[in-house]
Structure 1
Amino acid sequence: MVTFVNLKDFEEFSNYTASIDPKGPPVLMYFSGSKNAEGRSWCPDCVEAEPVVKAFLDELKRNVIFAYVDVGDRDYWKDKACPFRTDSRTKLLVIPTIIKWKGVQRLEGSQCTKRDLLQMLFEEDD
């Protein structure tokens, strides 16, 4: 029931967000540092959060779109002008960050490793 989308940079992210159907399933964006050949991010907090998020998604019984967004390598991310930091739609301060698209809810950093917080983020809107 979870549809996965992989977006590799800011341009892909921007193009994807422009095509999101507002009447479609909820879209959650997971922003993480780029991965090496072994599939491991340079960001230690992202490495810690990913298996928790993945296990949660494996058990999720809801129709959602989960977009993995690669924010780039460490130097690109650390640059204060990084578009993921400056864009009004994201305003990222840390990674990992999960945001509910077109909503105000977000989990940042170590919050992404807490199953109860993931549960609240993924709950249906009333």
Structure 2
Amino acid sequence: MAESTPEAAASGGMVERITECDYAKVIEMADDLMGKGETVVLYFTGKVDEKTKKNWCSDCVKSSPIVEDFLKTTKFTKKIHVIEIPICKDSMKDKNNQWKINKDIMLKNVPTMILWKGSKDVRDKQMMKKDMLKMLLEEFIEK
């Protein structure tokens, strides 16, 4: 089930955060939003273990505060829908993982942010650099 939380950015556009891990639901949701002219970003991150409450992906742990700060403090010109997709460690090892074989995604590592149906992405260690996140969404950031 998708979990949605709107966050008002510093001013201007708003960021709507949605958490969903089901492949078909994410694709349907992203395509539906795009069909309405909305901007969609897919944010792949390691899944937090329910028992230990720890994320298996150390780069995700390091980049998370940077991503959170960027999304909360950036002034966007329009609403941005960020679909966060928690990925299990085992599924990252699966060569037939739907996220890996989808030609629009081609997921190789987490963390990764992809502008849906766009040509921009920020992957792996780039996620720890706010400038790289700005590059991904530069056309939607207030000047």
Q: TM-score, normalised by structure 1?
A: 0.88
Question: Which has the bigger relative contact order, CA under 8 A and spacing at least 6?
Answer: 1
Moved more, 73-82 or 33-42: 33-42
Distance, in Å, in 1 between the alignment partners of 2:54 and 2:38 is: 29
Query: In the alignment, does 2:45 pair up with 1:29?
Result: no
Unaligned stretches of 5+ residues in structure 1: none
Matches within 5 A, 1:83-94: 83-94=98-109
Q: 1:39 to 1:19 in 2, by over 3 A?
A: farther
Distance, in Å, in 1 between the alignment partners of 2:60 and 2:20 is: 16
Query: In the alignment, does 2:85 pair up with 1:65?
Result: no
Unaligned stretches of 5+ residues in structure 2: 1-13
- 2:8 is aligned to none
Q: SS of the residue aligned with 1:19?
A: helix
Q: SS of the residue aligned with 2:72?
A: helix
Query: In the alignment, does 2:19 pair up with 1:2?
Result: no
Q: Is the 8 A contact 1:9 1:70 kept in 2?
A: no
Query: In the alignment, does 2:87 pair up with 1:80?
Result: no
Distance, in Å, in 1 between the alignment partners of 2:110 and 2:42 is: 12
Query: What is the Cα-based RMSD across aligned positions, in Å?
Result: 1.7
Q: SS of the residue aligned with 2:106?
A: coil
Q: 1:33 to 1:100 in 2, by over 3 A?
A: same
State the number of aligned residues.
124
Runs of 4+ in structure 1 over 6 Å off: none
- 2:69 is aligned to 55
**Identity in percent:** 31
Larger Rg: 2
Distance, in Å, in 2 between the alignment partners of 1:100 and 1:14 is: 13
Q: 1:9 to 1:40 in 2, by over 3 A?
A: farther
Q: Is the 8 A contact 1:30 1:69 kept in 2?
A: yes
Q: SS of the residue aligned with 2:59?
A: helix
Q: TM-score, normalised by structure 2?
A: 0.78
- 1:97 is aligned to 112
Q: SS of the residue aligned with 1:20?
A: helix
